[in-house]
Structure 1
């Protein structure tokens, strides 16, 4: 009989595989990296990896879900400290502004961008990304915009859905530029300018 392992052990092993996979994806690119690369980097056997994941796509989806859920929960908790919609929007811009120079974040942006392109050719993966954006990211901004419209901080002409997509297009676009060009790109200055322009459009 195979050894019985606890849920805690399984969760820890999954997280270990995910973290090593992120490093491999960032170093070689999502398309080029293989399960064998993850085996080599993690020292975890291929059989063990396939016990938890069927493919590198499945590993990335687990990675993405894990980081998305935890980061969104933290963000929503932090937003409760702010009294109005404009302050909340400003805070979210500042959260991303502070990511400059953080290697793990830049690696995640690179891998995420490449996976987006990969998923664009696969209807199931593309739908997964759409659902993720709607469930976690867009809904946060939509709720803030709607809150601001009710209090009169934000113009009633604002379209929450369009503004949410615009917000994340700015964040993702700037993040992609910075991850590709690194210190050659004035990341913090661009984020600050984008924040001022976006907030001005709400009033």
Structure 2
């Protein structure tokens, strides 16, 4: 008879697999890392891993969804502390600035970038990323921009969706450069310049 395990136990095992997988993805690259690498690092059997996940893509999607949900909810709560939309935008830039030098964050950026490229070749994964970007990132900033337009802080002619896409494209590009070049890239200075340029374009 198969032993009955609690939901708490299942979630704990899934989390362990996710964390071990992230290390493997960061060390070898998403494309090169295999389920066998995750088995070796986690010291779990392949069968155990396949009990919870169908593939390494499935593992990364679980990781991505979990981290994004938590970080987005936290961001929304932090943004409530600011009355000004411009201050909210400055705050988001500064969150990324505070990540400078954190190796685990650099690893996440590398894995995230690799997965995006991998997903671009898979229609199902690409659809998931499109929905995720809109729900978690674009919509959050669109709300901030619309508030700013209503309050007279931001030009009413601003296309909020275009401006939101531009915002995240800038940050993604800057973060990618930093993850690749690290100390040879003036990350904080570039972010400050991007912040000033972006805000100026809205006012």
TM-score range, shorter chain: over 0.9
Gaps of 5+ in 2: none
What's the counterpart of residue 11 of structure 1?
11
Q: How does 1:100-115 map to 2 (within 5 A)?
A: 100-115=100-115
What's the counterpart of residue 130 of structure 1?
130
What's the counterpart of residue 53 of structure 1?
53
- State the Cα distance separating 1:171 from its structure 2 match: 0.8
Measure, in 1, the Cα distance between the counterparts of 2:11 and 2:47: 17
Measure, in 1, the Cα distance between the counterparts of 2:28 and 2:44: 19
SS in 2 for 1:33: coil
Measure, in 2, the Cα distance between the counterparts of 1:112 and 1:7: 28
How many residues were matched structurally? 203
What's the counterpart of residue 190 of structure 1?
190
What's the counterpart of residue 199 of structure 2?
199
Gaps of 5+ in 1: none
Q: TM-score, normalised by structure 2?
A: 0.99
Give me the CA root mean square deviation.
0.6
- State the Cα distance separating 1:102 from its structure 2 match: 1.0
- State the Cα distance separating 1:156 from its structure 2 match: 0.5
Q: How does 1:91-102 map to 2 (within 5 A)?
A: 91-102=91-102
The runs of at least 4 consecutive aligned structure 1 residues that moved more than 4 Å come to none
Measure, in 1, the Cα distance between the counterparts of 2:188 and 2:51: 42
What's the counterpart of residue 179 of structure 2?
179
